[in-house]
């Protein structure tokens, strides 16, 4: 019996704001400070919510958002903040536990 596979797109499974926030939090924890990786996660969430809507709310073009959130580059922090706000999410900070401090 042959196994068939299909491409997986996480954006198809991010349906609620809580799922989007949990996905972003997990990506931030796993990113190892890779800004492009976090930008790609934001791109996944933006596609799930609708890139046209996010473009409208941020004042950026869809094309520039796709490029900025592709994971191929590190977008400006200003772009990240605009996208996070348009997604209805927020950043927060916490103190690392001693075992996490490098």
59-65: long-range contacts (C-beta < 8 A, 24 or more apart)?
A: none
Residue 97's SS3 state is coil
Q: What pTM was estimated for this model as a whole?
A: 0.87
Please give the Cα distance from 69 to 39 (Å, whole number).
5
pLDDT by 10s per residue, the chain, length 102: 899 998 999 999 999 999 999 999 999 999 988 999 999 999 999 999 999 999 999 999 999 999 999 999 889 999 999 999 999 999 888 887 776 655
Domains of the chain: residue spans and CATH = 15-89 (1.10.260)
**How close are the terminal C-alpha atoms of the chain, in Å?**
48
CA 40 to chain centre: 5
Contact 20, 48 (CB under 8 A): yes
């Amino acid at each position: 019996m042959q196994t068939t596979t299909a491409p997986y797109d996480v954006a198809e499974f991010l349906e609620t704001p809580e799922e989007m926030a949990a996905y972003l939090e997990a990506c931030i924890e796993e990113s190892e400070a890779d800004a492009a990786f976090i930008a790609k996660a934001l791109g996944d969430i933006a596609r799930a919510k609708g890139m046209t809507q996010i473009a409208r709310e941020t004042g950026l073009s869809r094309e520039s958002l796709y490029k900025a959130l592709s994971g191929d580059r590190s977008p400006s922090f200003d772009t990240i903040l605009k996208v996070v706000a348009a997604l209805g999410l927020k950043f927060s900070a916490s103190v690392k536990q001693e075992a996490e401090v490098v």
